[in-house]
């Protein structure tokens, strides 16, 4: 699963997720892309599940680019722990996704195959998406 090799700080603030994506909002590598229409945290597990769905459907044909990376640590306190006593331990890593972000790109594939692969990948993600092409 995707996770940063090292980070300057182990824990981060949650921050706000307002606004539209300005960077990473156009197709750069492939011919087809999966664009987000909502704001969300996409976990490393969800990214991996979507990647596997696409790879499996295309029978390892074509080319897939993952345009998001889970670099934000999300902490969680253990079950049945009282309030206070500091911030919890890092539980997972997420990618902050804003509307307009290109999540995945595909190239060197037939349009029908790419469309179906992207549809299967979209089912693994917690946000509404749409297929875009160059």
pLDDT bucket at 70, cuts 50 / 70 / 90: very high
SS (H, E, C) the chain: CCCCCCCCCCCCCCCCCCCCCCCCCCCCCCCEEEEECCCEEEEHHHHHHHHHHHHHHCCCCCEEEECCCCCEEEEECCCCCCCCCCCCEEEEEEEEECCCCEEEEEECCCHHHHHHHHHHHHCCCCCCEEEEEC
Mean pLDDT value across the chain: 97
- The pLDDT tens digits for 6-49 are 999 999 999 999 999 999 999 999 999 999 999 999 999 999 99
For residue 124 the two structure tokens come to 């693994």
Domains of the chain (ranges, CATH numbers) = 30-73+91-131 (3.90.1170.10)
Mean of the pLDDT values across residues 58-63? 94
- The pLDDT tens digits for 77-123 are 999 999 999 999 999 999 999 999 999 999 999 999 999 999 999 99
């Amino acid at each position: 699963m995707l996770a940063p090799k090292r980070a300057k700080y182990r824990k981060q603030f949650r921050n706000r997720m307002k606004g539209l994506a300005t960077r990473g909002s156009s197709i750069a590598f492939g011919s087809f892309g999966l664009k987000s229409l909502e704001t969300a945290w996409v976990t490393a597990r969800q990214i991996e599940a979507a990647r596997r769905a696409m790879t499996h459907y295309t029978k390892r044909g074509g080319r897939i680019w993952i345009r998001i990376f889970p670099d934000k640590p999300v902490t969680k306190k253990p079950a049945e722990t009282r309030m206070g006593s500091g911030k919890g331990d890092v539980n997972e890593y997420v990618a902050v996704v804003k509307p307009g972000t290109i999540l995945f790109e595909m190239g060197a594939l037939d349009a029908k195959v790419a469309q179906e692969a992207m549809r299967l990948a979209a089912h693994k993600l917690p946000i509404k998406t749409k297929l875009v092409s160059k």
